[in-house]
Amino acid sequence: MLPNEAGEVNNPLRDNIAWFLETERRKRKLRHQHMAELFKTSPGQGLAYRTYIRTMRKRNNVTLRTVEQMAQALEVSIATLLVGGAEVEPWAHKLTEKSIRARLAAIIDSERKRRNLVRYQMAELLGVSEITFTKLERASGNISVDTIAAVGEALGRDPATFLFREPDSQHQPA
């Protein structure tokens, strides 16, 4: 996913996160600096102001761990940040960063088998390196929202919600 002239990437996940953060900031009547302070877990640790601002401007490819940190600070689910205003089942709000990585791995494995592809072919389909594919397949590493969106798009699914749907509702009619 390449940025446009303004440095923004066309990624619905980035859009949803920025929208939710701005909505929360206004609801809480906070300045950006004070909103960013909510994400600090302890002195010297937490989300930097720069990261928060770049995320608000959709110029930051945040990772799932960062999204989880934001969600915990705001006392919402990771799903709430990623889906925007879309409805998801109650179970989706209980997912952690680790369980989302596991769901992504299961979806990728299922699709690879359904399409009868070997691993390198699936990596090509997803537009990721074989090293990144291996991390996705093993549910390891820190996955970025751009990678999640790219996987969703490559599989022909809504990048913002495909992780939060039941397996039998994943496939769209051909």
70 and 136 co-located in one domain: no
Token couple for 82: 């990623």
Who has greater pLDDT, 96 or 169? 96
> With pLDDT > 70 as the criterion, what percentage of the chain qualifies?
87
Which residue blocks in the chain are alpha helix, DSSP H? 12-28, 32-37, 49-56, 64-74, 78-83, 97-114, 119-126, 130-137, 145-154
| CATH number assigned to the domain comprising residue 129 | 1.10.260.40
Q: How confident is the model at residue 173 (pLDDT cuts 50, 70, 90)?
A: very low
- Kindly state the average pLDDT of the residues 16-27: 96
**pLDDT 10s digits, 148-159:** 999 999 999 999
82 and 107 co-located in one domain: no
Number of domains within the chain: 2
Model pLDDT, residue 85: 85
26 in helix, strand or coil? helix
Q: How confident is the model at residue 47 (pLDDT cuts 50, 70, 90)?
A: confident
68 and 126 co-located in one domain: no
Model pLDDT, residue 42: 58
**pLDDT 10s digits, 31-46:** 999 999 888 765 666 6
Residue 20: name the closest of 80, 65, 78, 63 by CA.
80
Q: Considering the domain boundaries, does residue 2 fall inside one?
A: no
86 in helix, strand or coil? coil
Task: Give the integer Cα–Cα distance in Å for 127 and 48.
Answer: 30
Residue 59: name the closest of 14, 25, 16 by CA.
14
Structural domain for 37, as ranges:
12-87
Q: Which of 87, 110, 129 is the last residue of a domain?
A: 87
Task: Give the integer Cα–Cα distance in Å for 90 and 113.
Answer: 29
pLDDT at 94 over 90: yes
81 and 136 co-located in one domain: no
